[in-house]
């Protein structure tokens, strides 16, 4: 995504030493200090990994519930039937339905939600939505806990700040960890938990340096590069 290159961005960029590998403890307050937009920017972590995602045994993915949430309430769609629809609604799901929801998505290309949870019995129908949900990272998957019979728990986790991370085809993980307005210690805790989860997810087949680079930035701000040596020491 293109970054803003006006005077305010240039002034913010000038405060970051491009040759210095920062610790996470240094990077988080610096990112908050560099904010120059009027809206509450999302803080993101970008990690380039030494894996080849073309090989299944080098795929890196996982989920975690951030201890301090993401600063916004995610809209959740649950595709289920019978009692599971009532359970999902009671747990706070924004949209619930069965085949009618599948049909709505197919016919209208409807994607006005941030997460999709489905029960196993509905996956045959949901499978037809791969071309719509897949590219947006919304396709339910048992590995991420979004295909489950415990829809109430899944809804609560998403609402609490559950984040999915998955390496893309270029070997990079992109994940949100909160808002610039968060208390510094809470933003640090979220970012640190995400990074540690990625480190723990190192595939056995990955050889050499696992974390090649790690950058923390806000939506419109300059990136702050972290010292990855400590991450790689834990990944061995």
Each residue of 195-235: pLDDT tens digit?
A: 999 999 999 998 889 999 999 999 888 889 999 998 888 76
Nearest to 74 by CA among 148, 143, 161, 194: 161
Cite the residue boundaries of each domain of the chain with CATH code 3.30.190.20.
Answer: 7-69+162-235
Contacts of 25 (CB under 8 A, 6+ apart): 188
What average pLDDT score do residues 163-190 get?
Answer: 94
Entry pTM: 0.78
Residue 86 near residue 68, CB atoms below 8 Å: no
Q: Under CATH, what is the fold of the domain 76-159?
A: Rossmann fold (3.40.50)
The DSSP 8-state label assigned to residue 121 in this structure reads G
Collapsed DSSP state (helix, strand, coil) of residue 55: coil
Given a cut of 70, whether residue 29 has pLDDT beyond it is: yes
Q: 150 phi and psi, to 5 degrees?
A: -95, 70
Rounded CA-CA distance 219/165 in Å is 18
Question: What is the average pLDDT value for the chain, to the nearest integer?
Answer: 91
Q: 148 phi and psi, to 5 degrees?
A: -160, 155
Strands (E) across the chain are located at: 42-49, 61-65, 76-79, 95-97, 115-118, 162-166, 172-179, 211-218, 224-225
The token pair that represents 32 in the structure block:
């908050």
Cite the residue boundaries of each domain of the chain with CATH code 3.40.50.790.
Answer: 76-159
CATH number given to 7-69+162-235:
3.30.190.20
Chain centroid, CA 5 distance in Å: 26
Residue 72's pLDDT band (boundaries 50, 70, 90)? confident
């Amino acid at each position: 995504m293109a970054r803003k290159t006006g005077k305010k961005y240039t002034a913010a960029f000038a405060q970051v030493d491009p040759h210095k590998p920062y610790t996470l403890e240094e990077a988080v307050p610096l990112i908050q200090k560099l904010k120059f937009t009027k809206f509450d920017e999302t803080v993101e972590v970008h990690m380039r990994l030494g894996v080849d995602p073309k090989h299944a045994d080098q795929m890196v993915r996982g989920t975690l519930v951030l201890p301090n949430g993401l600063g916004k309430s995610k809209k959740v769609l649950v595709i289920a039937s019978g009692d599971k629809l009532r359970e999902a609604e009671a747990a706070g799901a924004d949209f619930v339905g069965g085949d009618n929801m599948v049909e709505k998505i197919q016919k209208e290309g409807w994607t006005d939600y941030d997460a999709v949870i489905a029960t196993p019995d509905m996956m045959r129908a949901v499978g037809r939505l791969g071309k719509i949900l897949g590219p947006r990272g919304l396709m339910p998957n048992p590995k991420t806990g979004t295909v489950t019979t415990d829809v109430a728990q899944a809804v609560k986790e998403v609402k609490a700040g559950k984040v999915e991370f998955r390496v893309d085809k270029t070997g990079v993980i992109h994940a949100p960890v909160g808002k610039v307005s968060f208390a510094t210690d809470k933003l640090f805790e979220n970012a640190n938990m995400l990074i540690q989860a990625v480190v723990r997810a190192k595939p056995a087949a990955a050889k050499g340096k696992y974390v090649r680079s790690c950058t923390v930035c806000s939506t419109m701000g300059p990136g702050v590069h972290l010292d990855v040596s400590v991450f790689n020491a834990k990944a061995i």
